[in-house]
Structure 1
Amino acid sequence: MAGTEKLKLPEVLKEIKMSRAAFYRMRARGKAPKLIKLPNGQIRCRRSDLDAWWENCELDAA
């Protein structure tokens, strides 16, 4: 997907104001935004996936 911004995990954590440990607990429960694991082992999150996750959180809270 050309043109889709991909965020590093520290950027995601800063935006959602969450610690790495809390994020991985949420990920283990299947509640975290979708992540991409690169061949070098680094993790990225598409901006569109993070935005969709935020929207889903808002709908769940309503």
Structure 2
Amino acid sequence: MTTPRDKLTLAEVCAELRISRSTFYDWRAKGRAPRCIKLPNGDLRIRRADLDRWLAALEDAA
């Protein structure tokens, strides 16, 4: 079962990665960002599991 903490806000993801919102949106436009959930109000959420998988894939590529 998922909890609200399983879904991170864009601000939380940017703070964790130490990047700006504009950098995240640039990565997203280029298809390089983790999978996002777009809410009806336009806000984005990122599942913790998707962020962790995305980071692991970057580690393998390094």
Common fold: TM-score over 0.5: yes
Task: Flag structure 2 segments of 5+ consecutive residues without an equivalent.
Answer: none
- Residue 57 of structure 2 corresponds to 56
- Give the CA deviation at 1:3: 1.5
Which amino acid counterpart does residue 55 of structure 1 have in structure 2? A
Partner of 2:26: 25
Q: CA deviation at 1:44?
A: 0.2
Query: Among the aligned pairs, what percent are the same residue?
Result: 52
* Aligned residue pair count: 60
Unaligned runs of 5+ in 1: none
C-alpha RMSD of matched pairs (Å): 1.0
Moved over 4 A (4+): none
Q: TM-score, normalised by structure 2?
A: 0.89
